[in-house]
Amino acid sequence: MDFKTLKSFQKIVEHGNFARAAEELAYSPSTVTTQIQKLESDLGVLLFEHGKKIALTEAGRLFYEQSIPILQNMEQLQKTLGDLVSGEAGQVRVGVSEPTASHQFPGLIRRFTDMYPNIRISVEIAGTSVLTDKILKGELDFGLGSFPDSAAQLHFEPLFTEEFLLLVPQDHALARAESESVTLGQLRESRLLITAQSCPYRRKLETALREEGSFPPDTMEIGSMSALKHYVAEGLGAALVPRMVLDPLPEGTIALPMEGSGINMTCGLICRPADLPLKRAGKNFYDFVLHEFTR
C-alpha cells in the first residue's frame, strides 16, 4: 500500500466513480483499477461491491474511515519533508553575544519566524570564545559576536561596529566635561568597572589602556556587559558601555563620548568555512541576519 494508491481509493469513494477519480488525479482509468486490485490483494479483502453501482463493502467502509487520518498524516509529512529540503522548515542553533542578544536579536527572530513559521530557532547567549568553540564542534550552526580568536578555522562576516561610551555618575570628576570627548588617559584616576576576564572586549580595552600607559590601578570586575550601567548608577565607578544598552540612560548617570575609535568593537557573523556549508534552514536564517544588519 502506497500513498498514491490510498489517495486513489479515497477519491473513488468521494466521487463514487472510478473514471472521475482517475480524471482528477490525472491517471488513466486502467491505472486506478490496477491500484485498487493490488490494494485488495494486499489487504486480503474486497473493498468495493462488484455491481453496476460503486459501493463499499463492510471492510471497505472500515478501511475508508481508518484511512482518512493516515492520508492526512502522510500528506502533512510529505509537506514537512519538502519544507525541510527547501529550507522552509528545520532547526537552527545560533549563538549570540551580549548586548546584541538582548537588544537587537529578539525583534530580528520575531521577524524571521513570521516569514518562516516552521523553522525553530534556539539561541545560546555566551561570549565569543565560547560560541566559536561550539561552532567548531558543530554544536551551533553559526554565531554573532566579535572577531574570533580562532579566525583561521572560521569565516567572519563583519556586520557593524559597536560604539562604546563612558558612563559616569553625575557627580563624577569627568561629568563636568559632558560635551567633550574623553581620552583613555583621563581614565587613569577613575575606578573602572570592567567585564569578566573571558570577555573579548575587556582584553581589547586592557591592551588599549596599557598602550596609552593609562591602565587604571583601581578596577572592579562585573560579569555582565549589560549590568555595568546599573553599577555605575549606584556610584561604584565609571564604565565603558555599548551605546545600544544606554536607552534609556540610567537615572543619575551621564554618557560621554570617547576620543577616537580604538576601543570600539567590530561584530559580525561567525560560521565554519565554505567546505562545511550550513543546512538550508540555517542558510536562510544566516542570510536574513546578514540582510537585517546591512540593509
Say if residue 238 is in the same domain as residue 275.
no
Q: What share of the chain is helix, strand, coil (3-state, %, to 5)?
A: 45, 20, 30
Instruction: Tell me which of 65, 86, 107 is where a domain ends.
Output: 86
Say if residue 251 is in the same domain as residue 279.
no
Say if residue 188 is in the same domain as residue 235.
yes
Can you give the pLDDT at residue 84? Answer: 63
Instruction: Tell me which of 71, 86, 101 is where a domain ends.
Output: 86
Q: Summarize pLDDT for 237-284 with one digit per residue, the tens.
A: 999 999 988 888 999 999 999 887 788 999 999 999 877 788 888 999
- b/e for 228-246, b at 16 or more Cβ within 10 A? bbebbbeeebbbbbbeebe
Say if residue 79 is in the same domain as residue 194.
no
Residue bearing cell 578555522: 153
Say if residue 11 is in the same domain as residue 100.
no
Say if residue 63 is in the same domain as residue 141.
no
Is pTM beyond 0.75? Reply is no
Whether residue 3 is predicted with pLDDT greater than 70 in this model: the reply is yes
Say if residue 275 is in the same domain as residue 139.
yes
CATH number at residue 117: 3.40.190.10
Say if residue 177 is in the same domain as residue 258.
yes
Can you give the pLDDT at residue 206? Answer: 84
What is the signed CA dihedral for 271, 275, 280, 282, rounded to 10 degrees?
-10
Can you give the pLDDT at residue 294? Answer: 87
Say if residue 146 is in the same domain as residue 285.
yes
Least confident window among 23-27, 41-45, 194-198, 282-286: 194-198
Can you give the pLDDT at residue 85? Answer: 63
CATH number at residue 61: 1.10.10.10
Say if residue 183 is in the same domain as residue 252.
yes
Cβ pair 227, 237 in contact under 8 A: no
The mean pLDDT of 75-83, rounded to a whole number, is 71
Whether residue 87 is predicted with pLDDT greater than 70 in this model: the reply is no
Instruction: Tell me which of 70, 86, 102 is where a domain ends.
Output: 86
User: What is the number of domains present in the chain?
Assistant: 3
Whether residue 48 is predicted with pLDDT greater than 80 in this model: the reply is yes
Say if residue 29 is in the same domain as residue 45.
yes
For 241, list phi and psi in degrees, rounded to 5.
-130, 140
Cβ pair 45, 59 in contact under 8 A: yes
Domain interval for residue 61: 3-86
For 267, list phi and psi in degrees, rounded to 5.
-120, 150
Say if residue 53 is in the same domain as residue 169.
no
Q: Summarize pLDDT for 137-173 with one digit per residue, the tens.
A: 999 999 999 998 876 789 999 999 999 999 999 998 8
Can you give the pLDDT at residue 193? Answer: 93
